[in-house]
Amino acid sequence: MELVVAITLGVLTSTGVYLMLRARTFSVVLGLTLLSHGVNLFLFSMGRLTTASPAVIGLVENYTDPLPQALVLTAIVISFSMTAFVVVLALKAAVELRSDHVDGEDPNEDRQ
Amino acid sequence: MNHLMIMPIVIPLLTGAFLLVMYRYNIGRQRSLSIGSTLLLVVFAVWAVLQAGVTDYTLYRLGNWQPPFGIVLVLDRLTAIMLLLTALLSLFCVLYASRGSDREGSHFHALLQFQLMGINGAFLTGDLFNLFVFFEVLLIASYALLLHGGGRARSRAGLHYVIINLAGSALFLLALGILYGIAGTLNMADLAHVIANAPEADLPLLKAASLLLMVVFGIKAALLPLLFWLPRAYSAASAPVAALFAIMTKVGFYAMVRVFLVVFGLDEAAPANDTVLAWLWPMALVTLALGAIGVLGAASLRTLTAYMVIVSVGILLATLSRNDEQLLAASLFYLLHSTCMTAVFFLLADLIGRYRDNGYDRFSIISPLSHRWILGSVFLVAAVSMASLPPFSGFVSKAWILQSSSHLPDYLWLWGAILISGLLIIAALSRAGSGWFWRPEEHTGKTVPALDSARTAAVCVMVTISFLLALFAQPVMDYLAAAAELVYQPSGYVDAVLGDYVRQGGEVTE
């Protein structure tokens, strides 16, 4: 399980970073989303990976750390709202600047 | 438990929420509500300063849960001083905005209150995860404030600002995850205690977490490779918003002081901390140099002011990285001075721009300027203070920084950078001032608009703060010296927050 989680984290983060460096608002937003998914998964796994143990103290002998789950819940709420905001902002910028490049204009446009 | 302590968070939250619901209120009522709330904040900040002067640490346990299990707010001298600065600054920003800038879009006052809630919360919190949450609160309010009023320049600057800060938030969470994985806690005092006793094997992870945190706070504070969003964003924002943003880079500085000197600073030879401060020193110096060059090359007063913000960040972080108690006290004085003065310049740029026929605040366009006598005098006084010439607070603060760094081994770098950047600021400001005010009177035949006395008064009173800071330098210095002394005694912080929990070896007792 550790291997699967580690690979998932690596793939999510690296694709996120790659997409964020693409300098087009759509891919940047997509990259931010993937990165925040990766981060949330990372936070979640910081309470150590266990199976079949609930995050409730007192019910069973082996419980898992409930705090990372609380942290992840907060982080998910925040990252969702931020993603919604950045999507709207990207749309607004694309309409106003008539370009979906993050700088508002494509520096290589003349060469094409 | 004193409930006054949570008021700097609760008041703007309630006011902001109320304003948001009551958006049909006419603008006059919104303004008076907003001004009233900021006035209350000033009152509570004064109380906080007095309270922190009496007892070193005041705690507020939310829901009365014992730390480290509950959320805790901690008030000490450093927090109190930052709260007062925020409250005063926001009062002037609200007053200035109430003369018309708040009409450009909707919900200006509600957004401003939420921004204040985030800033105050970030100063008060004693918990790293809540620091993250309050950072997000102040950031999402600042995104909306930056875009307030709309326009191409704001959309473009806003896109950069939002994206770099979202990436920063992701890195912040990564760092928190690493710290939680090592320590099993995110309470700052408990974290300090655990990190000081961490086994050798955890050191690389601790270093990674602290360097990640440096990147995150570096984005907020505009440290060198992460500062390129700042000039465009600050010069695109409306004047009162830009003036309020003058405190935002200082939130990054404050977080660095808290995290690196208190959380990572408990063990004297904390190696994770040494790595961070060793990185910070050259980067801060280059930030300072780049800011000074930007000041000289700026094409408008707002851009020039944005680069002056960068210069002040460079000086603050360079002094922080020398890890010295006296120097920290001096740089706190400089923080008060530079925040006020950069805010003054953002407002002044707007004021001057309103009374020019065209060109707004750009230097390259020659255009008649009315009310030159008053605007020129205010500009002169503000420029003298900003350029650190006597008799204003800029001179006092820089003299104190130079004096208290003279015993350090590599003080010459700091001296050179500070003095040369000061010279460049003098050159840039005198060029701007002489270009605007030293011109023969031109009569274009247009009717001269009357000077907005309320806006001018707000700027004049803010400039007076600089004079007052110089006049009452000694008591302020004493207070700041005590604040710096507390920062350099992290064990006192840990004891105050955790109390018996540490002495009983981390065992929970009834």
Q: Where are the domains of chain B?
A: 6-441+451-490
- Note whether A23 and A103 are within 8 A (CB): yes
What is the reported pLDDT for B333? 94
- Residue B104 DSSP class: S
What is the reported pLDDT for B254? 95
Please give the span between the terminal C-alpha atoms of chain B, in angstroms, as a whole number: 19
CA–CA distance, B120 with B139 (Å, rounded to integer): 13
| Chain B residues whose C-beta sits inside 8 Å of any chain A C-beta | 129, 133, 136, 140, 143, 147, 151-152, 155-156, 158-160, 162-163, 166-167, 169-170, 173-174, 176-178, 180-181, 184, 186
For B460-508, write each residue's pLDDT tens digit: 999 998 889 989 999 999 999 999 999 998 888 988 888 767 656 555 5
Q: Among partner residues B143, B163, B173, which is closest to A75 by beta-carbon distance?
A: B173
What is the reported pLDDT for B424? 94
What is the reported pLDDT for B508? 53
Selected residue of B142, B156, B190 to mutate for chain A interface (largest A Cβ count, 10 A): B156
DSSP character string of B411-424: HHHHHHHHHHHHHH
- Residue A21 DSSP class: T
What is the reported pLDDT for B360? 83
Say what percent of chain B tops pLDDT 90: 58
Per the DSSP assignment, residues forming a β-bridge with B125 are B73
Give yes or no for A43 touching B (CB within 8 A). Answer: yes
What is the reported pLDDT for B506? 57
> A71 vs B180: CB contact, 8 Å cut-off?
yes
DSSP character string of B41-94: HHHHHHHHHHHHHHSS-EEEEGGGPPTTTS-EEEE-HHHHHHHHHHHHHHHHHH
Distance of residue B172 Cα from the nearest chain A Cα, in angstroms: 10
Give yes or no for A65 touching B (CB within 8 A). Answer: yes
- Residue A64 DSSP class: -
- Note whether B312 and B288 are within 8 A (CB): no
The pLDDT of residue B372 is above 90: no
Residue A95's contacts (CB-CB under 8 Å, 6 or more residues apart) are none
Q: Among partner residues B147, B160, B186, which is closest to A102 by beta-carbon distance?
A: B160
The pLDDT of residue B199 is above 90: no
The pLDDT of residue B510 is above 50: no
Distance of residue A11 Cα from the nearest chain B Cα, in angstroms: 15
> B162 vs A86: CB contact, 8 Å cut-off?
yes
Side chain identity, residue B246? A
Query: Which residue reads 């929990």 in tokens?
Result: B501
Query: Which residue reads 């104190």 in tokens?
Result: B400
Task: Give the pLDDT band of residue A110 (cuts 50, 70, 90).
Answer: low
Distance of residue B181 Cα from the nearest chain A Cα, in angstroms: 5
Lowest mean pLDDT across A20-29, A53-62, B117-126, B305-314: A53-62
Give the global pTM: 0.93
- pLDDT higher at B440 or B114: B114
Q: Among partner residues B143, B156, B173, which is closest to A85 by beta-carbon distance?
A: B143
What is the rounded average pLDDT for all residues in chain B? Answer: 89
Selected residue of A73, A82, A95 to mutate for chain B interface (largest B Cβ count, 10 A): A82
Number of C-beta neighbours around residue B39 at 10 A:
13
- Top mean-pLDDT range of B122-136, B361-375, B445-459: B122-136
Token digits of residue A58: 């007192």
The pLDDT of residue A45 is above 50: yes
For B392-408, write each residue's pLDDT tens digit: 888 999 999 999 998 88
Residue in chain A lying closest to B173 (CA): A39
Average pLDDT, integer, range B97-115:
89
Lowest mean pLDDT across B256-260, B318-322, B340-344, B353-357: B353-357
Assembly ipTM: 0.93
The pLDDT of residue B1 is above 80: no
Number of C-beta neighbours around residue B141 at 10 A:
23
Among residues B369, B376, B321, B310, the alpha carbon closest in space to that of B348 is found at B376
Average pLDDT, integer, range B45-58:
92
Average pLDDT, integer, range B29-53:
94
The pLDDT of residue A95 is above 50: yes
Question: B50 burial class (0-12, 13-18, 19+ CB within 10 angstroms)?
Answer: exposed
CA–CA distance, B481 with B474 (Å, rounded to integer): 10
What is the reported pLDDT for B443? 66
What is the reported pLDDT for B287? 94
Average pLDDT, integer, range B412-433:
92
Task: Give the pLDDT band of residue B437 (cuts 50, 70, 90).
Answer: confident
Side chain identity, residue B107? H
Lowest mean pLDDT across A55-59, A83-87, A89-93, B319-323: A55-59
Give residue limits of the domains in chain A: 1-49+64-97
